Amino acid sequence: MASDTFKPFKNFIRHGLYPVLFTYMIFYAWFEVSGVASELGTYRGLYVAVLIGVMLIVELLLPLRQEWRMTKETFFKRDVPFMIIGGITLGLVQYIGLEMILWFGLIRGESHINLPLIPSIIFILLITDFLWYWIHRWSHEARGPVGHFLWKIHVAHHLPQQVYLFMHGVAHPINTIIVRIILTVPLFFLGFSTESIFVASLITGLQGLVSHFNVDCRAGLFNYIFIGAETHRYHHSANQKEANNFASTITLWDILFGTFVYKPNELPDKLGVLNPSRYPDDQQIVHVLAIPFRKAP
């Protein structure tokens, strides 16, 4: 009886939650860009809090797999420390970036400043995701000293054997710096409008959260446009043959370069790295942070 009672709710979560979240993001973007807010990004904190709050409640109530769900131990011993480290890293990167702009007298580009909003957003997503696709793919597939180093700064994100909302923040600070450079430096010199960069960041942020969502939340045909829960969880598969989908936001580059994996109604058997015994436990923060500076693995 209880199962029948919750069936409509589960069906809504399965097929309706993603469209609702995406619509919420679009409405908020319009609210900010249209000038209703006094300053661009004024209500971003509230927007993010509501977004994460709704997703977290659903994830706690209806986890897709029990073994992938967040626990007190993983949250406090792994997720929180990495979120703090990530926040400090982003703050330092922003400060250093501003100082470099002033020191070297760098001038923001203007070549794309007058491009209409929607084409600008599309170009931004194409450019940043193209750069991340190849850096990310090389981190997994490249050989030699460079490829080995890229993997060692990226592996922290793959050590967890779960995938859920807050696990999205588990990353080595060097990897975080590379991502921030990709998302800011090209756009600074190409001169896209502040509004288009803002909206593109909202799309990227939403897909990043949805990608690590431990909920049966399906996107249907949108899986061929955006990287989300059904595709990115395969990237975390311990089976290297299916651990593709290297883009972070759009599927175009994976489709074009033959690394797109989408298996409707199926789940990876196991998440994490192929040989976990070669690496420190994901909750041993200091040891995980030291991986790039060790000779092995």
pLDDT, tens digit (0-9, with 9 covering 90-100), for 191-228: 889 899 999 999 999 999 999 999 999 999 999 999 99
Per-residue pLDDT at 36 = 67
Helix axes 117-141, 144-154, angle to 10 degrees: 110
Q: Please write the tens of the pLDDT for every residue from 51-95.
A: 999 999 999 999 999 999 999 999 999 999 999 999 999 999 989
User: How far apart are alpha carbons 163 and 154 in whole angstroms?
Assistant: 16
| The one-letter amino acid at 273 | V
The predicted model scores a pTM of: 0.92
Q: Please write the tens of the pLDDT for every residue from 119-137.
A: 999 999 999 999 999 999 9
Q: Looking at the predicted structure, is the pLDDT value of residue 2 above 70?
A: no
Using pLDDT thresholds of 50, 70 and 90, give the confidence band for residue 5.
Answer: low
Q: Looking at the predicted structure, is the pLDDT value of residue 161 above 50?
A: yes
Rounded (5°) CA angle 14-72-60: 15
What's the average model confidence in pLDDT over 142-153?
Answer: 91
What's the average model confidence in pLDDT over 258-274?
Answer: 92
Rounded (5°) CA angle 211-130-266: 30
One-letter-per-residue 3-state SS of 62-114: CCCCHHHCCCHHHHHHHHHHHHHHHHHHHHHHHHHHHHHHHHHCCCCCCCCCC
User: How far apart are alpha carbons 227 and 259 in whole angstroms?
Assistant: 12
| The one-letter amino acid at 59 | E
Per-residue pLDDT at 102 = 81
